[in-house]
Amino acid sequence: MNQFIQKYYDTSIPSLGSGGAVKVLSPATVANVVCGFDILGFALNEPNDEFTISLSDEKGVTIINDDAYDLPLDPEKNVSGAALLALLEETPDIKGFHFISKKKIKPGSGIGSSAASAAGAVVAANHLLNNRFTKEDLVRFAMFGEKVASGVKHADNIAPAIYGGVTLIRSIFPLDIVSIDAPELHVTVVHPQIEVRTSDARQILKQRVLLKDAIKQWGNIAGLVAGFIKHDYDLIGRSLEDVIIEPVRSILIPGFDDVKKKCKEAGALGGGISGSGPSIFMLSRNEVIARAVESVMKEVYENIGLAYHTHVTTINQQGVKLL
> Does residue 220 bind its own copies (CB under 8 A)?
yes
> Does residue 93 bind its own copies (CB under 8 A)?
no
> Does residue 210 bind its own copies (CB under 8 A)?
yes
Q: Which residues contact 81 (CB under 8 A, 6 or more apart)?
A: 61, 63, 72, 74, 75, 99, 121, 145, 148
Q: Which residues contact 9 (CB under 8 A, 6 or more apart)?
A: 64, 66, 98, 100
> Does residue 206 bind its own copies (CB under 8 A)?
yes
> Does residue 36 bind its own copies (CB under 8 A)?
yes
> Does residue 30 bind its own copies (CB under 8 A)?
no
> In this chain, which of 58, 74, 89, 176 binds its own copies, going by CB under 8 A?
176
Pairwise CA distance, residues 192 & 261, whole Å: 17
Q: Is 161 exposed, middle or buried (0-12, 13-18, 19+ CB in 10 A)?
A: buried
End-to-end Cα spacing for the chain: 29
**Of residues 309, 282, 284, 285, the one with CA closest to residue 298:** 309
DSSP states along 82-110: HHHHHHHTT-TT--EEEEEEE--S-TTSS
Q: How many residues lie near its own copies (CB under 8 A)? A: 40
- Residues designated catalytic: 146, 198
> Does residue 204 bind its own copies (CB under 8 A)?
no
What character string, x for contact with its own copies (CB under 8 A) and - otherwise, covers 234-273? -x--xx----x-----------------------------
What character string, x for contact with its own copies (CB under 8 A) and - otherwise, covers 40-79? x---------------------------------------
Pairwise CA distance, residues 128 & 138, whole Å: 13
> Does residue 216 bind its own copies (CB under 8 A)?
yes
> Does residue 221 bind its own copies (CB under 8 A)?
yes
Q: Which residues contact 201 (CB under 8 A, 6 or more apart)?
A: 249, 252, 276, 277
Shorter beta-carbon distance to its own copies: residue 192 or 271: 271
- In the complex, minimum distance from the CB of residue 272 to its own copies, in angstroms, rounded to a whole number: 15
Contacts to its own copies by CB under 8 A? 35-40, 168-171, 176, 178, 180, 205-212, 214-226, 229-230, 235, 238-239, 244
